[in-house]
Every structure is written in C-alpha cells, then in structure tokens.
Amino acid sequence: MSVKLNTRQVGDVSVVDVAGRITLGEGSSALRDTLRDMVTKNHKKILLNLGEVSYIDSSGIGELVSGFTSVTNSGGQLKLLGLSKRVKDLLQITKLYTVFDVHEEEASAIRSFA
Amino acid sequence: MSNQSRHEAETVERSLDSTLESVDYAEEITMGVAQRAGFDEDDLTKIGMAVRESMVNAVVHGNRYNANKKVRFSVSKNEERLTVRISDEGEGFDYEHLPDPLAPENLFRSSGRGIFLIRSFMDEVRIRRLDPGGTEIVLVKHMVSK
C-alpha cells in the first residue's frame, strides 16, 4: 500500500499519523475515507501528522483541502503537523499554507485546539 | 557520474496503457534519465512531480482509463535540456482558459492544480491539440552548467 494511516487519541484530539505517498489512487482514497469516517463519527478536533509523508501530488493536496472543508463545515477543526520541506513548499506554491494551521511540534499542536 | 554519461544523448519512448501503474512507470523512467543527466535533488523532485501530473492528466482526463487508448510517452536528454513528451487520445480540453487555482474562489476546490504545478516546476511547458485527436504536453527542464 502506498500510504499507511494510524489513528490515535490524545485527550479529545484525534491524531492521524500518515506515512508514505499521498497520490492519486490508493493514497488519496485512504486519506479521504479516513477523514470522511471521522466526520461521520463527529470527531471535532483532528490533527493530521504528515511527518512521514514522503510525497504528495495535486490529488493529495485536493484531499487535504476537501478534508479541511468537510471538517470545518461540520463545526470541527483540522490542523497539520510535521510538514516536510517538500510538502510545505507545495502548500506555499498553491497558496494553501496560510489556510491551514500548521504546527511543527505535536504537544503545542494539541494545545492549540480550542 | 562521469561527465561523459551526463552529456550523452539518451531517449526513451514508450506506448503506455491508460492506468495509474503507467503513471508510476513514466515517473520512474524519467527519474532515471534525469539522474543520469545530473540534475540535483530539488530539480529531480520537480521533474518527477511534473511528469506525474502530466501522466495523470493523460490517463484520467484524456483517455479516461480507456483500455483501448494509449498514452505515448518519451523522455530525452542532451547537453542542453531534458524533454518529456506525453500525449493522449482524448477529446482535448481548453488549456488556454483554465481556472486559476490561486484565485480566492478556486482555492478550496479539490482539483484543478495539476497544470499550474507543472508550469511551476518546469522551465518550458507547451500544450497542443493533436490531429486527428488527443492532446500533447511537452515539458522541458534546462541543464545548468556546472
């Protein structure tokens, strides 16, 4: 599988550890399904840990945006953690870096949820 | 890597199925040629992404995964540049009037960033309709003299 996802709880924050490639196909579908499932189950505080994401394409970026929109529209918050330079550069080029609340360290990311 | 191998001309041409596996394959082939050309890690990443996005466009939007339609792929290098050509057999699209993915009204769209990223990563990008049908995209990355 191109991507591995692991979900854990830290208090009332749901942390999704993502590893591998978020690309069109298995990778982007897995992320989409996980976020949809969490919205359906009324998770309001979601932290996507992208520290082990080696690669993301425009489809992967699209899933991040869709996930953000879905979670926000359901009254929740979705934040990002641990962006590599590559992912950060992509979000900056596409003017999405300032849309997301991006953190470098998990503890402070957890504390930032309202 | 010897200077000789870096400057040797090389061309790889393939006719690929309209599958996501072909996207991976084209990216892999291109990375090999680009590495032998001597591009640094940053440029390799950009070239790989541009090829990936172009192949996805051909497979998904152009040929629509049609098993009866092929993607023609070629990558070549010489002393001056790396050139990738990708063409599909689809119905074509209005590539001169694409929505701007950076416009506020488009920022939260789930798609539409592919060609923008391709143009951001490559030095030259040319798109044209083919006769009798299909679309070709040509990607060029210039060699940097070291």
| All structural domains of chain B with their residue ranges | 3-142
CATH of A3-107, one of 2.170.190.11, 3.40.50.920, 3.30.750.24, 3.40.630.30: 3.30.750.24
Q: Residue range A22-40: average pLDDT? A: 94
Name every chain B residue with its beta carbon within 8 A of the beta carbon of A29: none
Residue B113 has its nearest CB partner, among A23, A69, A94, at A94
Q: pLDDT tens digits for B17-47? A: 999 999 999 999 999 999 999 999 999 999 9
The residue of A54, A55, A57, A87 whose CB has the most chain B CBs within 10 angstroms, and thus the best one to mutate to test that interface, is A57
Q: B42 and chain A: CB distance < 8 Å anywhere?
A: no
| All structural domains of chain A with their residue ranges | 3-107
The answer to whether residue A23 scores a pLDDT higher than 60 is yes
Tell me whether residues B109 and A65 touch, CB distance under 8 A: yes
Percent of chain B past pLDDT 90, that is, above it, reads 88
**Global confidence as pTM:** 0.92
Q: Residue range A50-59: average pLDDT? A: 95
Q: Residue range B43-70: average pLDDT? A: 97
How far is the C-alpha of A10 from the C-alpha of A12, rounded, in Å?
6
Please state which CATH class domain B3-142 belongs to: alpha beta
Percent of chain A past pLDDT 90, that is, above it, reads 96
Percent of chain A past pLDDT 70, that is, above it, reads 99
Q: Indicate the pLDDT class of residue A2, thresholds 50, 70 and 90.
A: confident
Contact B87, B134 (CB under 8 A): yes
State how far residue A49 is from chain B, nearest Cα, in angstroms. Answer: 20
Tell me whether residues A94 and B111 touch, CB distance under 8 A: no
H-helix segments, chain B: 3-7, 20-37, 41-56, 114-121
Q: Residue range B40-65: average pLDDT? A: 96
CA distances from B7 to A60, B2, B30, B37, B73 (A): 35, 9, 16, 7, 22
* Selection from B138, B46, B29, B52 nearest residue B87 by Cα: B138
Cross-strand pairs, A16: A7, A48
